[in-house]
């Protein structure tokens, strides 16, 4: 079964193992595996490789891994290519206000490279908060850029937040703690203020 490469979609079997974008995405899922437990949601799972990776890596500590996406073709591919007894792939919109009622709550939510595609940012963030159980962990990543209402250089992104905007995404939500990490390729480190190094992607770990 084939899946069309849109230019933004990660399809591991169509990519070289040295592909920087693939390495970067896989590194995030390996990083997130340390937080995965109980019921896990992969929010905008795409081709499903990350959902599968978490199900396999974390099979001893997870009960279910749900991959949600709004692309039916991607989900069919995920079901075909990445079946795992602990995983399930569902069709849905990350900004659907009824998602918490439809899906229930989760112990861990992964949202990688999603928010920059979303116009209804507030509803997206509210969904994440309502879908997460008390005591649960949200791991969210997004590339840095020029900020809201500024051009991004790619037709796939609504905007790319500045570092400061990214750090204020969660101000309106009652998370117990929010920690920030930087990522450059496979390297993920606690937020760095070393001006001589450039980290193009930010990762937030939110504990509810």
Q: What is the 3-state secondary structure (H, E, C) of 142-169?
A: EECCCECCCCCCCCCCCCECCHHHHHCC
Q: How far apart (Å, rounded) are the C-alpha atoms in residues 174 and 177?
A: 9
State pLDDT tens for residues 29-62: 999 999 999 999 999 999 899 999 999 999 999 9
Structure tokens given for 44 = 């905008």
State pLDDT tens for residues 129-163: 999 999 999 999 999 988 888 887 777 788 889 99
- Tell which residue, 115, 122, 93, has the closest CA to residue 204: 115
pLDDT at residue 17, as a whole number: 80
State pLDDT tens for residues 84-95: 999 999 999 999
pLDDT value at 126 more than 90: yes
Question: Which residues span the domain enclosing 35?
Answer: 16-207
Domain-located, residue 155: yes
Domain-located, residue 7: no
- What strand order describes the sheet that includes 132-143? 87-91, 62-69, 38-43, 106-112, 132-143, 201-207, 177-184, 187-190
Task: Count the domains in the chain.
Answer: 1
Query: Residue 38: beta bridge partners?
Result: 62
Domain-located, residue 8: no
Domain-located, residue 168: yes
- Tell which residue, 160, 159, 154, 163, has the closest CA to residue 182: 163
pLDDT value at 202 more than 70: yes
pLDDT value at 197 more than 70: no
Domain-located, residue 51: yes
Domain-located, residue 10: no
Look up the CATH number of the domain holding residue 186: 3.40.50.150
Q: What pTM was computed for the model? A: 0.91
pLDDT at residue 170, as a whole number: 96
Domain-located, residue 9: no
Domain-located, residue 5: no
Strand-strand pairing, 62-69 and 38-43: parallel
């Amino acid at each position: 079964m084939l899946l069309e490469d849109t230019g933004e979609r990660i399809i591991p079997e169509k990519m070289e193992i040295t592909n920087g974008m693939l390495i970067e995405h896989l590194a995030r899922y390996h990083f997130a595996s340390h937080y995965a437990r109980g019921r896990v949601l992969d929010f905008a799972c795409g081709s499903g490789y990350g959902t599968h990776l978490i199900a396999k890596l974390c099979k001893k500590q997870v009960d279910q891994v749900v991959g949600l996406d709004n692309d039916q073709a991607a989900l069919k591919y995920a079901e075909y290519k990445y079946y795992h007894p602990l995983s399930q792939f569902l069709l849905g919109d990350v900004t659907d206000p009824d998602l918490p009622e439809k899906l229930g709550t989760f112990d861990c939510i992964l949202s990688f490279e999603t928010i920059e595609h979303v116009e209804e940012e507030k509803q997206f963030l509210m969904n994440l908060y309502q879908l997460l159980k008390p005591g649960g962990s949200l791991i969210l990543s997004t590339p840095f850029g020029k900020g809201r209402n500024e051009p991004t250089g790619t037709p796939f992104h609504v905007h790319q937040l500045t570092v400061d905007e990214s750090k204020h995404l969660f101000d309106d939500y009652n998370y117990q703690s929010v920690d920030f990490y930087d990522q450059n390729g496979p390297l993920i480190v606690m937020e760095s203020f070393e001006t001589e190094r450039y980290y193009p992607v930010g990762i937030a770990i939110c504990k509810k």
